[in-house]
């Protein structure tokens, strides 16, 4: 006997990843008939034109951009002038910023106009929610507080009532209450590191390049912004992060200029500083009865390569593909075979990315002399090995 359900797919969490899934399902050729609900207690609003640039920005790959274009959200993001980056420069703390040991990726080498864009997280989430609503998604502005997963239906408590669905998608971020309600564990650790995030004004033009310098305490990422400033993600020990955030503006500007080895001349403070704890996690399974995990709810990685939300968007594409297939075959969206295929494929890919980033973090913070020599040589070699470099560029562009 078939059970009446209010939604075919109920997505819990309208951050960048959940909102992308909602828009993609509602606009997709095969998935359009699905009734989609999006549960988000604090939906992102687009900033006003005079609002300053948000502190939380992400490097979006070309693959992520294509996803946003396909649901009509990219043109909304473009209104806020996302900054295209055309080059990536990576160097070790012991090398010179523009020496032979600097690994450089160029969009032109890949025949692409750029390697991606630096965007404000809030702008992306707001654009995707706007498109999802325009495409017929129902927004519920309360959190999911309880979950019951049965073979024939999923029940979620939202704003004091029970909502029924064929499939619940947990897109509720790294602390994922839904993952916990479903009893899905995983493998991870809190890094002995925190990231300081802020925007700075450089003395020299950033030239549309994303830079990363690996210091003994962790990587310093410097991303270009459209207004000429740069956004930094400076990963260091929690004690050092606390000290740096407490410095006065002149002290912090001097510290970050030294940490960047003067690659952009003197850096001047132009925004508040915030600290983020860093962790890695991969859920043991991305699927349970009538539930799947996507985005940070399923996996978190060190931000050193700007991969987190890009991996989440790849989850969204894979899940939409499986749901489209299940629907075309007359199945229901909670079909365990479709969910299993999604879960296995994405978990394996995210595990690979997580392990690679974890290894990079450990390799570059290892201060033994032989390791330091080896990695400088490694960067220089990768720089000259065309096929390996091509592979890395493809990955940066967002190829799964
Ligand atoms: C310092 C730093 C720099 C980063 N830089 C990059 C980068 O350059 N490129 C990149 O790709 N990634 C980057 N990341 C990672 C990226 O920010 C995350 O991967 C991304 O924000 C995750 O998006 P999400 O939608 O999965 O989760 P979130 O953005 O956490 O969204 C989860 C949503 O779920 C909602 N929610 C929570 N609980 C409930 C509930 N019970 N019911 C309903 N809704 C709920 C929340 O309100 C929230 O809106 C960075 C991360 C950090 C920490």
Q: For the chain, give the mean pLDDT.
A: 90
Whether residue 103 lies inside any domain: the answer is: yes
Based on the fold, state whether residues 54 and 28 are members of the same structural domain.
yes
* pLDDT given for residue 380 in this prediction: 62
Structural domain span for residue 352: 7-65+121-188+279-358
CATH number of the domain bearing residue 377? 3.30.9.10
Q: Which of 243, 263, 254, 251 is nearest to 196 (CA)?
A: 243
Say what the alpha-carbon torsion angle 101, 107, 111, 116 is, to the nearest 10 degrees: 140
Whether residue 237 lies inside any domain: the answer is: yes
CATH number of the domain bearing residue 57? 3.50.50.60
d(CA 62, CA 314): 12
Based on the fold, state whether residues 52 and 175 are members of the same structural domain.
yes
Whether residue 81 lies inside any domain: the answer is: no
Based on the fold, state whether residues 337 and 322 are members of the same structural domain.
yes
Whether residue 71 lies inside any domain: the answer is: no
* pLDDT given for residue 1 in this prediction: 45
Whether residue 77 lies inside any domain: the answer is: no
Per-residue pLDDT tens digits for 113-167: 999 999 999 999 999 999 999 999 999 999 999 999 999 999 999 999 999 999 9
Q: Which atom of ligand 1 is nearest to the CA of 42?
A: 47
Q: How far is the CA of 53 from the centre of ligand 1 (A)?
A: 18
Based on the fold, state whether residues 229 and 271 are members of the same structural domain.
yes
Q: Is residue 92 within 8 Å of residue 101, measured between CB atoms?
A: yes
- Which DSSP helix (H) or strand (E) runs through 83? strand 83-85
Which of the listed residues 309, 319, 397, 398 should we mutate to test ligand 1's pocket, taking the one with most ligand atoms within 8 A of CB?
Answer: 309
HEC assignment per residue over 158-204: ECCEEEEEEEEEECCCCCCHHHHHCCCCEEEEEEEEEEEEEEEEECC
Say yes or no to pLDDT of 97 above 90: no
**Across residues 297-319, what is the average pLDDT?**
92
**Across residues 59-88, what is the average pLDDT?**
94
* pLDDT given for residue 333 in this prediction: 94
| pTM, to two decimals | 0.93
Reading the block at residue 90, the tokens are: 């990576």
- Integer-rounded Cα Rg, in Å, for the chain is 22
Ligand 1 pocket, Cβ-based, cut-off 6 angstroms: 12-18, 39-42, 58-59, 121, 143-144, 171-173, 177, 195, 197, 233, 276, 295-296, 303, 306-310, 312
Whether residue 2 lies inside any domain: the answer is: no
Based on the fold, state whether residues 203 and 59 are members of the same structural domain.
no
Based on the fold, state whether residues 213 and 341 are members of the same structural domain.
no
Any idea which residue has 């060190």 for tokens? 302
Q: How far is the CA of 55 from the centre of ligand 1 (A)?
A: 14
Whether residue 203 lies inside any domain: the answer is: yes
Q: Which of 150, 149, 143, 174 is nearest to 12 (CA)?
A: 143
Per-residue pLDDT tens digits for 194-243: 999 999 999 999 999 999 998 888 899 999 999 999 999 999 999 999 99
Q: Which atom of ligand 1 is nearest to the CA of 39?
A: 43
Based on the fold, state whether residues 234 and 341 are members of the same structural domain.
no
Say yes or no to pLDDT of 390 above 70: no
Based on the fold, state whether residues 130 and 51 are members of the same structural domain.
yes
Whether residue 73 lies inside any domain: the answer is: no
Which of the listed residues 296, 353, 357, 396 should we mutate to test ligand 1's pocket, taking the one with most ligand atoms within 8 A of CB?
Answer: 296
**Across residues 76-92, what is the average pLDDT?**
91
**Least confident stretch, 74-83, 96-105, 196-205, 387-396:** 387-396
Count how many domains the chain has: 2
Q: How far is the CA of 277 from the centre of ligand 1 (A)?
A: 13
* pLDDT given for residue 2 in this prediction: 60
Based on the fold, state whether residues 263 and 300 are members of the same structural domain.
no
* pLDDT given for residue 343 in this prediction: 97
pLDDT band for 256, please (50, 70, 90 cuts): very high
Say yes or no to pLDDT of 305 above 80: no
* pLDDT given for residue 387 in this prediction: 58
Any idea which residue has 């020599």 for tokens? 373
Based on the fold, state whether residues 154 and 44 are members of the same structural domain.
yes
d(CA 270, CA 11): 37
Per-residue pLDDT tens digits for 317-346: 999 999 999 998 887 899 999 999 999 999
Q: How far is the CA of 104 from the centre of ligand 1 (A)?
A: 28
Pairing of strands 186-202, 267-269: antiparallel
Which of the listed residues 10, 13, 40, 125 should we mutate to test ligand 1's pocket, taking the one with most ligand atoms within 8 A of CB?
Answer: 13
Based on the fold, state whether residues 285 and 350 are members of the same structural domain.
yes
Based on the fold, state whether residues 195 and 153 are members of the same structural domain.
no
């Amino acid at each position: 006997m078939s059970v009446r359900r209010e939604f075919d797919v109920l997505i819990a969490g309208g951050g960048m990843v959940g909102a992308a899934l909602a828009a993609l399902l509602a606009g997709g050729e095969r998935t359009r008939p699905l009734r989609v609900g999006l549960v988000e207690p604090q939906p992102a609003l687009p900033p006003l034109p005079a609002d300053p640039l948000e502190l939380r920005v992400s490097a979006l790959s070309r693959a992520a951009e294509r996803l946003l274009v396909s649901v009509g959200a990219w043109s909304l993001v473009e209104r806020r002038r996302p900054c295209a980056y055309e080059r990536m420069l990576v160097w070790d703390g012991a090398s010179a910023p523009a020496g032979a040991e600097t690994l450089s990726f160029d969009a032109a080498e890949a025949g692409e106009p750029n390697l991606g864009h630096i965007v404000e997280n809030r702008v992306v989430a707001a654009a995707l929610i706007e498109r999802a609503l325009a495409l017929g998604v129902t927004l519920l502005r309360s959190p999911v507080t309880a979950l019951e997963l049965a073979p024939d239906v999923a029940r979620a408590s939202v704003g004091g009532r029970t909502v029924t669905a064929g499939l619940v998608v947990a897109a509720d971020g790294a602390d994922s209450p839904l993952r916990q309600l479903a009893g899905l564990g995983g493998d991870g650790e809190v890094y002995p590191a925190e990231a300081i995030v802020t925007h700075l004004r450089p003395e020299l033009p950033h030239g549309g390049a994303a830079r990363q310098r690996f210091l003994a305490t962790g990587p310093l990422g410097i991303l270009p912004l459209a207004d000429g400033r740069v956004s930094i993600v400076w990963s260091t020990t929690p004690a050092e992060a606390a000290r740096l955030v407490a410095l006065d503006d002149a002290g912090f500007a001097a510290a970050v200029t030294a940490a960047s080895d003067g690659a952009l001349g003197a850096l001047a403070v132009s925004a508040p500083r915030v600290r983020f704890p860093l962790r890695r996690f991969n859920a043991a399974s991305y699927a349970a009865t009538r539930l799947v995990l996507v985005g940070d709810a399923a996996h978190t990685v060190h931000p050193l390569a700007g991969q987190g939300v890009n991996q989440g968007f790849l989850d969204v594409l894979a899940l939409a593909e499986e749901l489209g297939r299940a629907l075309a075959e007359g199945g229901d969206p909670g079909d365990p075979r479709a969910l299993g295929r999604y879960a296995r494929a994405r978990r394996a890919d995210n595990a690979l990315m997580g392990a690679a980033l974890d290894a990079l973090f450990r390799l570059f913070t290892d201060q033994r002399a032989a390791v330091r020599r080896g990695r400088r040589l490694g960067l220089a070699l990768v720089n000259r090995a065309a096929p390996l470099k091509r592979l890395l560029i493809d990955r940066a562009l967002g190829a799964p």
